[in-house]
Structure 1
Amino acid sequence: MSSTPRVRRSLSDIQHDYDQGNKTELENLVRAWKGIKELPANDPNSFFTLGGLHGEPFRDQGKTDPNWWGGYCQHGTVLFPSWHRAYLWRLEEALRSIPGCQDVTLPFWDECSDESREKGLPSALTQEFFVLDGKRIENPLRSFVFPKAIVDEVKGTPIIYSKPEGYETVRYPLSGLVGTEADRIATKLHNSRFPNHVQNVKYLNDNISTWLSGKIKIGGKWRGEVFSRFESCLDAPTYTLFSNTTSTAASNASAPAGTHYVSLEEPHNFMHLAVGGFDYPGQGDSSAIPGANGDMGENETAGLDPIFFFHHCFIDYVFWTWQRRQGATDEFSIDAKDPGASYYKPDGVQPPAGAAGLDPNAILGLQTTLDPFVKADGKPFTTADCINIEKQLGYVYGKGSLDAYAQRTKQALFMAGAVQPEGKTLRVSRINRGKIRGSFLISAYATVDGKREYLGTRPILSRWHVEGCMNCQTHLEATATFKLPLNANNTAIDESGIEVEVQTRDTVLKRPSGAGLLASGNAAAATAAPTEVPFKLETF
């Protein structure tokens, strides 16, 4: 490893250099991506191989057996930040293996920058063509054409998410759902409404900008919802709570008044769904472009859209920012008793013995292997091997939008603003991911001082059928908590004015205002027939 760490810069800064005539860095990045995409599909450095490690194509026994892992990705566990850190390192090594690209370093899409909030994506990720070595080529950062078909073969599940050889990944506002004849017909009709690439990029950037700029009222002040989530996760007091949604959901369910933890995984999910086909809630029509279904929006194929790695490079930058803020650049610990450190289901059912090579009794910790990644010496990666990115992995991050928060003395604006009296907490639970096709949003509203007010959204990044992934099966329940505001005179709002919507790919499931389905305190929540309200609400 070189004594001088390489620098992962903001893609916008690299593009600015290119526009000013300093073209080498962006050109070499494009050259490297072009190279790994053109490798044979079975080459270990090919983008098809590496992008497929996240979800499909499933492999080994997991190809057909739903009791095995559907892909390798760690979601809802304490390994979420470290597994993806190792994933980025492996992809970067592949990029650097292309002749002439040995100095290439993966940039990050700075999602919290003013530029992203105002304009959306850097154009290097969306432009249709790129001039490289005097030749006009298709931009390899925009999409990926499958060199082989991906076929859903998991037994006992509908074959929904198969995609043929020659399929090209899509983003909002397009649809990529082509697994069945009915889906192909619907997708062809949907995409025919969006034939203009330039206009589609505008739709995409407008949607991303809306997500990044969308606001909720926190502590009596309007805050950017996604930005405030990134801010808040930086104040998670432990790595366990910072790392994943399972841990924070369990903690928030019993946290004292005024305490609400946000994990890195939550704002991460927002941007997957913004690129992958969901409109920002709370804007009147909750689905301005119904039928949009981009690959980034589902775990099966998210890793096969190049933008995945620029997004996750930012997530790793946030991870490193948290480490610097919390003084955890050389060590941190994992709470072995936390539900995010186990593959057990909430009902106590374990994964089958040997599923995906897993020990069903294992507790996830710093020495748990981050399969399938191995270090340069051929030994398996563990979280302990990638805590300090500079000393252990040989890279650092360049200037980014959250740098000010890397200092422990810098108080996040979100925390500084939340000084007004707190209302109760609304908890939404008993949402069964197994009964919902694909990813979805949980949004809450309330009547405050006679006006309907948007309380926020929790994004759930999921799969089209979680039956095909044991990790998903051990995290079937989706939950969300929302801080309830007070009226202008600091009195509690009328809970009958609370509304919750679950926006799925197919429909919007609602619990309307005045339905009388809330229970307060420790009392058992009232329930309704599944056809009426498919979730439980309670306040505390």
Structure 2
Amino acid sequence: MTTTNTTTHVDQVVATPTYLADIRFFFRPQDVEHMAELGIELGTYDGVKENAHSIYTLTAPPGATMPPDEEGVWSAERSQTFRNWILTGFPLGTATPVEPLPNGARPTRLRKDITTLSDAEFDRLKAAFTGLMDRDPTDPKSYFTLAGQHGLPKRWCMHHQDRFNPWHRQYLLDFEDALRSVPGCEDVTIPYWDFATDLPDRLQHPPLDEYVLPADPGASATPQPVSGFFPYTTSRYSVADIAQNMTDFEVLADTATSLTQSLWGASNVNGYQDFSIQAHDSGHGSIGPTMGRQNVAAFDPVFWFFHCNLDRLWLSWQTRVGGTTVAGFRTTLGQNTGWLTPPSNVMLGTSVTADQTIESKVSYDRLDLPSPVEGAMENLSGSIDAARSFAFRSDSPVSVRVKGIDRLNIPGSFVVSLLAGGEPVAKRYFFQPDDPRNCETCVQYGIVNLDFRLRQEQILDRKLTVRIDVPGQSEEIGTAFPLSQAGNPTINARLLVGEA
């Protein structure tokens, strides 16, 4: 039987099945599509749980009436497994990593680690970047225009929400197509910088080390012009400082946690998105003054290689959880599926919709697919339905959430530090424009949270406090930002639990 994640499951009775490991694979894409037309959701945990008893009745052999085609008829073993799932309280469980697609089924556009490019490949990449940078800034396929879609003047980027990863995936494709429009560079792809390693030497020389803006990006910004970015040359921290910042902001820790999440989740809430977006924001703040300011971040050439790696990590996670197709991806969403359908699937500055980006048009020379031992999948949360059994252990991490930050009052990207006994124990960087009130996406998602995972001994018997700093704030008044002007955020601390 065909499943949503291209893996064939042999029917056998499972005594204690879970949705993510077993049940979601019982519904084929055509089953989900057919029942959706009747107003019944079979593609998500919440939908299957809500309709579980009807599903069992209609699919149970020998008198099953659904699915109507012979190929889709459930075996007695599958029916018994589904019954067991009902009797055990509809456990959600954790995802079981699946095998990646065979090489023959992969897209033909391959992106590589920038350090592994041959000299000839790297020369073509430099020629492509030089070609874009040399184009008139009014050319729609110039470097200036394309980078200006993310920050000034267009501000089309969609951060801290469900369409964050889809928007940036399409943005990379559009930029890659522009690179390919440079004569002699028709087969160029954007390589990635694996930021688990130091900034490569290849990104420290022209034309990939900096960019001198040829025009004022703020002159045509709406709803009002923005000054202070012309003349302007992009800049970065030293290689050693970037590496130290990545450590201090725990970029790699958030990345590792994101890859073990069973659910897509939501920014500011849980799941892959929450930790992926935190890693993104802190990565921007780690790299330099330009990358840390949303208004101009995409003008730094490192932006493209950094984001290419983030897309590689997202595809890695999709592959692990069986979410490389729209049908498979939906099984990780719960109730949060609206952004995949009109009108909520629209993405600023492109005719491509969010759902059309789920099935990636590119592949990578390497995906991060840790073994179950190296990175077991999880579905930890601060609460669980009372009807389900749960457990926590002495080594369970503590989730500390700085909740309810009103970012619209904060002038630019900022750092949230968590202090225990007056000593900093963790910090995160939040990436946003200098003027968030003039950003459509920022206004829509104005109240935000930041999550920290800590060992219990880091905070036990210690007073917890929070500090917000704005690196770009005037030196005359210092970088500290009053909590009272940031919505008086609260600190929520709880042990994370999972199903027993």
Correspondence list, 1:34-183, <5 A = 34-58=130-154, 71-112=155-196, 116=197, 120-127=198-205, 139-151=206-218, 161-164=227-230, 166-172=231-237
Q: 1:287-341: per-residue Cα shift (whole Å, max 9, x none)?
A: xxxxxxx221111111111111111000000010001111111221285854xx7
Q: Partner of 2:396: helix, strand, or coil?
A: coil
Structure 1 residue 271, shift from structure 2 partner: 1.1
Structure 1 residue 275, shift from structure 2 partner: 1.2
* C-alpha distance in structure 2 between counterparts of 1:12 and 1:397, whole Å: 14
Partner of 1:460: 430
Partner of 1:211: 245
Structure 1 residue 105, shift from structure 2 partner: 0.9
The TM-score with structure 1 as length reference comes to 0.61
Partner of 1:536: 490
Residue of structure 1 aligned with 2:364, choices 397, 406, 425? 397
**Identity, % of aligned pairs?**
25
Q: Partner of 1:316: helix, strand, or coil?
A: helix
Q: Partner of 2:185: helix, strand, or coil?
A: coil
Q: 1:414 to 1:5 in 2, by over 3 A?
A: closer
Contact 1:499/1:510 (8 A) holds in 2: no
Structure 1 residue 458, shift from structure 2 partner: 2.3
Q: 1:123-142: per-residue Cα shift (whole Å, max 9, x none)?
A: 12112xxxxxxxxxxx1211
* C-alpha distance in structure 1 between counterparts of 2:398 and 2:120, whole Å: 54
Partner of 1:502: 468
Correspondence list, 1:137-536, <5 A = 139-151=206-218, 161-164=227-230, 166-172=231-237, 204-214=238-248, 225-239=250-264, 241=265, 247-251=266-270, 262-276=274-288, 294-331=289-326, 332-333=329-330, 335=333, 338=336, 363-366=338-341, 368-373=345-350, 380-389=351-360, 393=361, 395-399=362-366, 402=368, 404-405=369-370, 409=372, 411-412=374-375, 420-422=394-396, 425-447=399-421, 454-483=424-453, 485-487=455-457, 493-495=460-462, 497-505=463-471, 506=473, 507-509=478-480, 530=484, 534-536=488-490
* C-alpha distance in structure 2 between counterparts of 1:433 and 1:269, whole Å: 14
* C-alpha distance in structure 2 between counterparts of 1:96 and 1:156, whole Å: 33
Q: 1:510 to 1:6 in 2, by over 3 A?
A: closer
The TM-score with structure 2 as length reference comes to 0.66
* C-alpha distance in structure 1 between counterparts of 2:398 and 2:253, whole Å: 20
Determine which structure has more spread, i.e. the larger CA radius of gyration. 2
Contact 2:260/2:376 (8 A) holds in 1: no
Q: 1:244-280: per-residue Cα shift (whole Å, max 9, x none)?
A: xxx242359xxxxxxx98431110111100113xxxx
* C-alpha distance in structure 1 between counterparts of 2:346 and 2:357, whole Å: 11
Q: Partner of 1:482: helix, strand, or coil?
A: strand
Q: Partner of 1:310: helix, strand, or coil?
A: helix
Q: 1:399-444: per-residue Cα shift (whole Å, max 9, x none)?
A: 35x2x32x6x45417979x964336543323322222221111111
Contact 2:218/2:226 (8 A) holds in 1: no
Q: Partner of 2:404: helix, strand, or coil?
A: strand
**In the alignment, residue 354 of structure 2 is paired with which amino acid?**
T
* C-alpha distance in structure 2 between counterparts of 1:106 and 1:151, whole Å: 27
Task: State the number of aligned residues.
Answer: 368
**In the alignment, residue 243 of structure 2 is paired with which amino acid?**
S
Q: 1:534 to 1:414 in 2, by over 3 A?
A: same
Q: 1:161-212: per-residue Cα shift (whole Å, max 9, x none)?
A: 5422x5222223xxxxxxxxxxxxxxxxxxxxxxxxxxxxxxx211111133
Contact 1:236/1:263 (8 A) holds in 2: no
Residue of structure 1 aligned with 2:110, choices 3, 7, 13? 7
Q: 1:80 to 1:487 in 2, by over 3 A?
A: closer
Q: 1:156 to 1:78 in 2, by over 3 A?
A: closer
Partner of 1:522: none
Contact 1:145/1:168 (8 A) holds in 2: yes
* C-alpha distance in structure 2 between counterparts of 1:436 and 1:143, whole Å: 28
Structure 1 residue 469, shift from structure 2 partner: 0.8
Contact 1:441/1:504 (8 A) holds in 2: yes
Gaps of 5+ in 1: 18-22, 59-70, 128-138, 173-203, 216-224, 242-246, 253-259, 277-293, 342-362, 374-379, 512-528
* C-alpha distance in structure 2 between counterparts of 1:466 and 1:398, whole Å: 37
Contact 2:267/2:277 (8 A) holds in 1: no
* C-alpha distance in structure 1 between counterparts of 2:107 and 2:402, whole Å: 48
**In the alignment, residue 273 of structure 1 is paired with which amino acid?**
G
Structure 1 residue 482, shift from structure 2 partner: 3.0
* C-alpha distance in structure 1 between counterparts of 2:409 and 2:437, whole Å: 10
Contact 2:167/2:347 (8 A) holds in 1: yes
Q: 1:147 to 1:423 in 2, by over 3 A?
A: closer
Q: Partner of 2:456: helix, strand, or coil?
A: coil
* C-alpha distance in structure 2 between counterparts of 1:532 and 1:411, whole Å: 39
Q: 1:144 to 1:366 in 2, by over 3 A?
A: farther
**In the alignment, residue 256 of structure 2 is paired with which amino acid?**
E
* C-alpha distance in structure 2 between counterparts of 1:537 and 1:214, whole Å: 21
Contact 2:406/2:487 (8 A) holds in 1: no
* C-alpha distance in structure 2 between counterparts of 1:161 and 1:410, whole Å: 52
Residue of structure 2 aligned with 1:31, choices 103, 124, 127? 127
* C-alpha distance in structure 2 between counterparts of 1:438 and 1:431, whole Å: 13
**In the alignment, residue 375 of structure 2 is paired with which amino acid?**
A
